[in-house]
Structure 1
Amino acid sequence: MFARTALRTLRPQARLFSSSAPARTKVAVLGAGGGIGQPLSLLLKVEPLVTQLSLYDIRGAPGVAADVGHIDTASTVRGYTADQLDQALDGAKVVVIPAGVPRKPGMTRDDLFNTNASIVRDLAQAVARVAPEAHLLIISNPVNSTVPIVAETLSKAGVFDPRRLFGVTTLDVVRAARFLSEISGQDPTATPVTVVGGHSGVTIVPLLSQSNFGKSVTGEGWSKLVHRIQYGGDEVVAAKDGAGSATLSMAYAATVFTNALLRALAGEEGVVLPTFVKSPLYESEGVDFFSSNVELGPEGVKKIFPIGQVSEEEQKLIEACLPELKKNIEKGKAFVSA
């Protein structure tokens, strides 16, 4: 039982494997055979709020299902191949989508667009057809564009509910807490940082001034920390030397968010964390999707919180974020309209 006990102590403050809520549900992972999908499937198999785990990919998902299915937790697991997407989605309440090609050295998230955009659109069409009331968690990059793609695709099908669509930006939050803890000498549980904006480069805006320890970081130290949070993925791509991108940490971060959503869907109150959703915060500036602190509830998005007070330097980060984010969002919408 050591492994399971260790997993449950990964991040107590996030209550990653909390069992306080009694409800359990079917979760589908689309892209379960990939670099993110496999560890994500493992972590979700240990998640007590999952009754059924449905794993789909064009190849490899039945093998992943057979492997994680041997883990001694209560949930059942089934794998589905390329022509079984509808079966994989049938009855799913939460659908997590990490499907797509990984980022390689020298490749920006924007470079991933054409391939991943088509994959995400096709999967969203299937969700609209089979599980229109499911909550969708989008991991596939570039999230700033793929989330609008899913929204437009669901809208075309007449089933878009903005409360049920989430871009998973939790990895930025996880990195911010970890990187700040290295500077402060504190445990990461003591150094949470709200990260707003989007999920790539300059669109990632860590609000360090709102953190007890982050507000003490100034000058060059602040600039270096912000840059590391914004471009932390590049460290992993370089370290893997062409063999992949941030898959394990992304799977962990996605599980943190999935657990939070499952708890909220089960009725737990006060579940708040940043996520990229359809938002009114900067809609007047043409940015209708934005990541900020969101309270989750039984229907998905319950409340979108304002950014709050920020420093002069953070305001400049937001001003740099918005035009880039607007461009990313428009690119996603245009792909569906073409």
Structure 2
Amino acid sequence: MFPKSSVRQFSSSAASAYKVTVLGAAGGIGQPLSLLMKLNHKVTNLALYDLRLGKGVATDISHIPTNSTVEGYGPEDDGLAKALKDADVVLIPAGVPRKPGMTRDDLFNTNASIVRDLAKAAAVNAPKAALLIISNPVNSTVPIVSEVLKEKGVYNPKKLFGVTTLDVLRSSRFLSQVVGTDPTTETVTVVGGHSGVTIVPLLSQTKHKDLPKEKYDALVHRIQFGGDEVVQAKNGAGSATLSMAQAGARMAGSVLKGLAGETDITEPTYIDSPLFKSEGVDFFSSRVTLGPEGVKEVHPLGTISTAEEEMIKVAKETLIKNIKKGVDFVKANP
């Protein structure tokens, strides 16, 4: 018999027991992301898959004393299907990183095939899971996943997320450096997409809406192209991995809170969005409230500045091309 207090504690933790799967768990993003998910107490079953070293990473992380089991899988013995089976949340950081001089779009040909194949496996083995896409270029890989899920008859737009959280983290950090504040007190909504000019930080909605133009322009540029700083600093050895892992873990944590029924959980994320569908922009990142079914509410952009209106116009033009690229890829390479 459990003491009464233990029964209560056991039942409450069991109520929010979730299986999380990381596809590409041995990569530069995958390893720290897997570590951070092991530290999330809502995760009771962590499944780590990679073409190689998935089991090694899982064994390593499994020694950390948090209340979750960890299993590692490779492509042998139907490992991908086993890793995905009954998953509540699937994180996909798989793919190749950027090198100096490369844009996220340059990664398209390699990563598009990887994401398509993982999406097919998820459609069959975890059709009800929330899918969080980290693999770049996110503006195009999320539409790829949606097309695959539609073909398989399991597409739920409320449960497909492009992870743009890194732009949010960078915005808080970079803004705080400009204005001399504590970065943990700065909240910036970032809308649009997740590359270059499609990244639109709504600085007019922060406490610092009157930045001098020179500082404002430099800040926006740094937020939009902050990833280049990391690519250059790593000198050909990779792109943003640690900060991206933190971004992925934060977004996954928010999705898990929503699934568990916690209220007022909001994050900007790139989704199948109604905001600009009439203009042909089928996917757009904006602030959403998360709930037990995934996306509970898509928030309007609210009052924005003239400069932000102009940036959003440019972002939409680019997004239409990025989205079409993803859709066309699946049509040509089913």
Q: Per the shorter chain, which TM-score range?
A: over 0.9
Q: Percent identity?
A: 63
Out of 15, 24, 28, the position equivalent to 1:31 is 24
Out of 65, 71, 84, the position equivalent to 1:78 is 71
5 Å-filtered alignment, 1:84-163, equals: 84-163=79-158
Moved over 2 A (4+): 19-22
- Correspondence 1:204 to 2:199: yes
Take 2:55 and 2:316, find their aligned partners in 1: how far apart are those partners? Answer: 42
Out of 20, 38, 44, the position equivalent to 1:51 is 44
Give the aligned partner of residue 171 of structure 1: 166
- Correspondence 1:241 to 2:214: no
| Stretch moving more, 184-193 or 219-228 | 184-193
SS at match of 2:275: strand
Take 1:280 and 1:247, find their aligned partners in 2: how far apart are those partners? Answer: 31
- Correspondence 1:68 to 2:61: yes
Report the CA distance between 1:218 and its aligned residue.
2.7
Give the counterpart letter for 1:39 in structure 2.
P
Give the aligned partner of residue 3 of structure 2: none
Report the CA distance between 1:20 and its aligned residue.
9.7
Take 2:317 and 2:210, find their aligned partners in 1: how far apart are those partners? Answer: 29
SS at match of 1:136: strand
Note the alpha carbon deviations across 1:184-212, whole angstroms, 9 max, x for none. Answer: 21111211100000000000000000001
Take 2:13 and 2:202, find their aligned partners in 1: how far apart are those partners? Answer: 30
**Rg (Cα) greater in structure:** 2
Give the counterpart letter for 2:52 in structure 1.
R
Note the alpha carbon deviations across 1:69-108, whole angstroms, 9 max, x for none. Answer: 1111111101000231001101111000000000111111
Take 1:170 and 1:286, find their aligned partners in 2: how far apart are those partners? Answer: 24
Take 2:125 and 2:46, find their aligned partners in 1: how far apart are those partners? Answer: 17
Report the CA distance between 1:22 and its aligned residue.
5.2
Give the counterpart letter for 2:301 in structure 1.
I
- Correspondence 1:306 to 2:300: yes
Give the counterpart letter for 1:187 in structure 2.
D
Out of 236, 248, 268, the position equivalent to 1:254 is 248
Note the alpha carbon deviations across 1:106-163, whole angstroms, 9 max, x for none. Answer: 1111110011000000000001111100110000000000000000000000000000
Note the alpha carbon deviations across 1:214-262, whole angstroms, 9 max, x for none. Answer: x132301000000000000000000001111000000001101111110
- Correspondence 1:276 to 2:265: no
> Judging changes above 3 Å, is the alpha-carbon distance between structure 1 residues 285 and 30 closer, same or farther for their aligned structure 2 residues?
same
**CA contact 1:21–1:266 (8 Å) conserved in 2:** no
TM-score (norm 1): 0.93
Report the CA distance between 1:265 and its aligned residue.
0.3
Give the counterpart letter for 1:194 in structure 2.
T
Give the aligned partner of residue 4 of structure 2: none
Give the counterpart letter for 1:254 in structure 2.
G
Give the counterpart letter for 1:180 in structure 2.
L
- Correspondence 1:229 to 2:228: no
Out of 12, 33, 36, the position equivalent to 1:40 is 33
**CA contact 1:145–1:331 (8 Å) conserved in 2:** yes
**CA contact 1:65–1:79 (8 Å) conserved in 2:** yes
Give the aligned partner of residue 218 of structure 1: 212
- Correspondence 1:318 to 2:312: yes
Give the counterpart letter for 2:83 in structure 1.
A
Give the counterpart letter for 1:258 in structure 2.
A
TM-score (norm 2): 0.94
**CA contact 1:45–1:73 (8 Å) conserved in 2:** yes
Give the aligned partner of residue 15 of structure 1: none
Take 1:134 and 1:232, find their aligned partners in 2: how far apart are those partners? Answer: 31
Give the aligned length.
319
Report the CA distance between 1:21 and its aligned residue.
10
**CA contact 1:38–1:64 (8 Å) conserved in 2:** yes
- Correspondence 1:296 to 2:285: no
What are structure 1's unaligned runs of at least 5 residues?
Answer: 1-18
**CA contact 1:22–1:49 (8 Å) conserved in 2:** no
Note the alpha carbon deviations across 1:279-332, whole angstroms, 9 max, x for none. Answer: 011111110100000000000000000111110111110111111011000000
Give the counterpart letter for 1:225 in structure 2.
L
SS at match of 1:151: helix
Take 2:251 and 2:126, find their aligned partners in 1: how far apart are those partners? Answer: 20
**CA contact 1:293–1:304 (8 Å) conserved in 2:** yes
